[in-house]
Amino acid sequence: MGEKNTITASSTRLAKLRQDYQRTKAQIQALGYVIPGTVQKRLYRCGKPNCCCVKENRLHGPYYQWTRKVGGKTVNINLDPQSATRVKEWIQNNRKLRQLCRYLEKTSLAVLKSSTKMTKT
């Protein structure tokens, strides 16, 4: 009788893991565009002696910059405010995608452990 309960519990756990996996895949599919990097708002001082940034301590900007790695090197791209908003959203989508992929891996491992007899060597 105890073995039957164990099998039922295992089947229930597997069904829940599969549901979680499908739900996570649907969340990934619902994501929009994804890109890596960060967007920063920058204010600059040009340094010209008669400029308002020196005389009135009023910095130039804001300027938006998207920073990412390409081939191991840091690349900066200047963006207009509307593009900066869009790029920030896509960066958030990228972070969410990575989080969801880690969850899929974790769920897959749990399914493997629940459905097979694994032994360490």
The verdict on residue 1 lying in a domain is: no
The verdict on residue 55 lying in a domain is: yes
Instruction: Flag whether pLDDT at 6 surpasses 80.
Output: no
Average pLDDT (32-42) is 97
Domain count across the chain? 1
The verdict on residue 117 lying in a domain is: yes
Paired strand residues for 70 = 73
The verdict on residue 32 lying in a domain is: no
The verdict on residue 82 lying in a domain is: yes
What SS3 string covers the chain? CHHHHHHHHHHHHHHHHHHHHHHHHHHHHHCCCCCCCEEEEEEECCCCCCCHHHHCCCCEEEEEEEEEEECCEEEEEEECHHHHHHHHHHHHHHHHHHHHHHHHHHHHHHHHHHHCCCCCC
For the segment 42-68, what is each residue's pLDDT rounded down to a tens digit? 999 998 989 988 888 899 999 999 999
For the segment 75-119, what is each residue's pLDDT rounded down to a tens digit? 999 999 999 999 999 999 999 999 999 999 999 999 998 887 766
Instruction: Flag whether pLDDT at 37 surpasses 70.
Output: yes
The verdict on residue 27 lying in a domain is: no
Instruction: Flag whether pLDDT at 2 surpasses 60.
Output: no
The boundaries of the domain holding residue 51 are 37-121
